[in-house]
Structure 1
């Protein structure tokens, strides 16, 4: 059985080889609007904001923020799939997720804010529990040795494969259950 409906898999199948980050915006938008319908209390709100990267130039981060009424309850940040091989790109993505969680968690109505970092279809799941902080835990750099602070195996599943789809769907179901209790 396919993990997603044919409409969603068809949209992901339109992503070209050697895809850029923005090639994934429409497929994720369709997926999120399917899981959080427009005629519900949820809104999928694309967000963009600029950051200074390590080369002192402006870079833009695009994310999809899911809001219950006007409060964030979930978000997805998308990165170019080929950059997952770059240690610096994974570290940057990890840092951006942590910063964004710190920004959104105080206004999230749930006890836990969840987010997903996506390099194309490869996913890493993050959660910010207001009592225990962010998971997965931060890996601190060693001052004497090269340290991979965002190892490749953090992006351990694919949204288009059964395991990744199931983890994503389970997380969305959990978020919706918590929202229903508010």
Structure 2
């Protein structure tokens, strides 16, 4: 495992204790650290959430493009919201919708996405031949169901396991892209 550069570590260390979503937008730089340019472009995107509970709400996403095709994307949410069942369910739903939008143009057999609540990560894969993982948890018709449990965001990008999982994912994507 290669640890994060001092620049990335320093950037994360400046995040305040009461961090907001935008304090983590520099995670796009973390992707740049892992994926050498000019082969890839890391592009930030914003789009509104039509069915959001809020009157004005936007999704901030970073897409990694090989030429003009998405091979990885990262969606960032406010860290404190990870404790809210509704926020996790909305993040899970947004990831699945976005995967459905991007998968048809992805040049790889598998599209990868990362959902982040601050530094807590959940990894998603969309295998064009099968399905999206982690598997969707369907709501029960009568009982309250947590369709996006807290333990789905099971690693921290600043801890060894999170660094390793993220770097392994990027290495696999780069290997697959070399075959395209």
- C-alpha deviation, 1:52, in angstroms: 2.4
Q: Distance in 2 between matches of 1:133 and 1:105?
A: 11
Specify the alignment match of 1:30 in structure 2: 29
Specify the alignment match of 2:152 in structure 1: 154
Q: Does 1:71 align with 2:69?
A: yes
Q: Distance in 1 between matches of 2:2 and 2:11?
A: 14
Q: Distance in 1 between matches of 2:68 and 2:50?
A: 28
Specify the alignment match of 1:141 in structure 2: 139
Q: Distance in 2 between matches of 1:127 and 1:58?
A: 29
Q: Distance in 2 between matches of 1:118 and 1:20?
A: 12
Q: Distance in 2 between matches of 1:116 and 1:29?
A: 12
Aligned length: 180
C-alpha distance after superposition, 1:115-169 (max 9, x if no partner):
0000000000000000111000000000110000000000000000000110000
Specify the alignment match of 2:93 in structure 1: 95
C-alpha distance after superposition, 1:14-45 (max 9, x if no partner):
1111100000002x12211111233x210000
| Structure-1-length-normalised TM-score | 0.95
Deviates more, 1:127-136 or 1:55-64: 55-64
Contact 1:47 1:63 in 2 (8 A): yes
Unaligned residue ranges in structure 1 (runs of 5+): none
Specify the alignment match of 1:7 in structure 2: 7
Contact 1:2 1:162 in 2 (8 A): no
